[in-house]
Amino acid sequence: MTQHSKSWTLKPGAMTLGDLRAVWAAPVKLILAAEAYPVIEASAAAVQAIVAKGDAAYGINTGFGLLAKTRIPDEKLEQLQRNLILSHSVGTGELLSDAVVRLIMLMKIGSLARGYSGVRPLIVDTLIALYNAGIMPAIPAKGSVGASGDLAPLSHMTLAMLGVGDVRVNGELMAAPEALAQAGIAPVVLAAKEGLALINGTQVSNALALHGLFMAERLLEAAMVTGALSLDAAKGSDSPFDARVHAVRGQPGQILAAQMYRQLVAHSAIRASHLEGDERVQDPYSLRCQPQVMGACLDLIGNVGRTLLIEANAVTDNPLIFQDGPNGQAEIVSGGNFHAEPVAFAADTLALAISEIGALAERRIALLIDATLSGLPPFLVRDPGVNSGFMIAHVTAAALASENKSLAHPASVDSLPTSANQEDHVSMATFAGRRLDDMAHNTAVIVGIELLAAAQGIDFHRPLKTSPHLEHVHQQLRQKVPFFDADRFFAPDIEAAKQMVLQGELSSTCKNLFAPLYA
């Protein structure tokens, strides 16, 4: 089973984006803060008191959705919860990645542990045990509309706790009973309300959106690096990055982006070589307006992070147990926190930023291959005509940029009623978050192609050097991809550059420069 390099104590309601990034990036051993257990126990006791009293309470001793008026006898409450999980496990499509599943499990643990969901400590501890053993429930990606919670995918998560279906261990599929037995984890029998508490909630939508957020952060960093490299490759001007220009506008992301660009291009010998005698008055927008565009993306990404962090710490199942009811008694309240509209809006906003990062990078590739604009050899290759150079690599970038424009259409504006019109407006947040992965990979390819093109342009300016930051990036690339001296099988070069973008390698040696992004 999984070996953990470090452990981390989860304090429900107090997770940070840094915590979530760490769990997304690699397995971390979870320990639930001791102070969480009394509130979990009190909430579970309140549910048992409601059952003992015999009053009808939604999700505890009634049916679900439109069947909420159907009273369920006490002797069938465990069967009710098990049936709920089995009947709602209707997902389809590819399985969610381990990184996304870790986020789902972490957020579900944190939500249940806040003590408003009426589950026993056993339920929370079993989820933690699965997580720490590296047993990742096999969760199909499709089948949720983002209200009433992510019912289908969270049901597949819960199946693993019951010892039903498949799980993934070390990347390999395994039958859940076998994996639980190997880890010494006993399957659970769900008590009243526990199944509903496990599958109601926005954790899948939010995990998918967080995955998109963390990918977008890497894309933003990488595209700022490649954009600065393209500026030098095209012998562009750094004057548009002057702090005074951005101060008089006042947009915070733009001001911060301009500061980063100034640092990225500082002390470039290529820039120094054309400070005088350059007949060009202004650069094209894809070079000159980088702080304005990337700064706006930076602001959007920051806003999305704040929304998703709130949701990560939230209690989003239904109904909820409150201990401050009339006469000091626990009260069960039905609401709608499972509706993932905030996540859907956040994911749709993030899609805009991911698309624009790629769109601007594609325009810079087009600029670099156009000898009339860049001053570089046509298509960035010697002996053009015999060699096509970067001609079709740019076509790939254009195709992906166009695809992203279609994918950026907001998912949140759609809704289809479900559950015989009981659930008559839904968020579509799950798709809103899920499509971000495709978009991020598209943009990573575009930025990777720009990295190759800009590095090629820098090579044509030798022996002049670009800035120290950018020289290091150039050297990193050249360790994996040689100078493009003549046409060759190009796809492996593009894949290598894409992986550098996705792994955060372009900013790995200047993390301090990008630290303000995460302030």
Q: In whole angstroms, what is the distance from residue 363 CA to residue 230 CA? A: 11
Q: State the DSSP string of 287-336.
A: HHTHHHHHHHHHHHHHHHHHHHHHHHT----SSEEES--GGG--EEE---
- Check if the beta carbon of residue 40 is closer than 8 Å to that of residue 113: yes
- Tokens of residue 283, six digits: 């650069």
Residue type, 209: A
Burial of 43 (0-12, 13-18, 19+ CB in 10 A): buried
- Active-site pick, 37, 58, 285, 518: 58
Three-class SS of residue 167? strand
The CB density around residue 281, as the number of other CB atoms within 10 Å, is 6
Collapsing DSSP to helix, strand or coil, 168 comes out as strand
Contact 500, 484 (CB under 8 A): no
Q: What sign for the dihedral angle of Cα 58, 64, 67, 72?
A: negative
- Token pair belonging to 90: 């209707």
Amino acid identity, position 271: R
400, 310 contact by CB (below 8 A): no
Cβ proximity of 267 and 467 under 8 Å:
yes
* Burial class of residue 164 in the structure, from the number of CB atoms within 10 Å of its CB (0-12 exposed, 13-18 middle, 19+ buried): middle
Under 8 Å CB-to-CB from 481, ≥6 apart: which residues?
452, 455, 493, 496, 497
DSSP letters, 64-97, are SGGGTT-B--GGGHHHHHHHHHHHH---EEEEPP
Beta strands 320-322 and 331-333: pairing type? antiparallel
Give the pairing type, strands 140-142 and 92-95: antiparallel
Are 484 and 389 a contacting pair, CB within 8 Å?
yes
58 carries an active-site annotation = yes
Name the residue among 401, 412, 380 with its Cα closest to residue 490: 380
Q: Quote the DSSP letter at residue 409.
A: S
Taking each helix axis as running N to C, give the angle between helix 468-478 and helix 491-502, from 0 to 180 degrees, rounded to the nearest 10.
Answer: 130
Indicate the angle between helix axes 491-502 and 203-233, nearest 10 degrees: 120
Neighbouring C-beta atoms of residue 64, cutoff 10 Å? 23
Rounded CA-CA distance 469/221 in Å is 13
Could you give the 3-state DSSP secondary structure of residue 60?
coil
Catalytic residues: 58
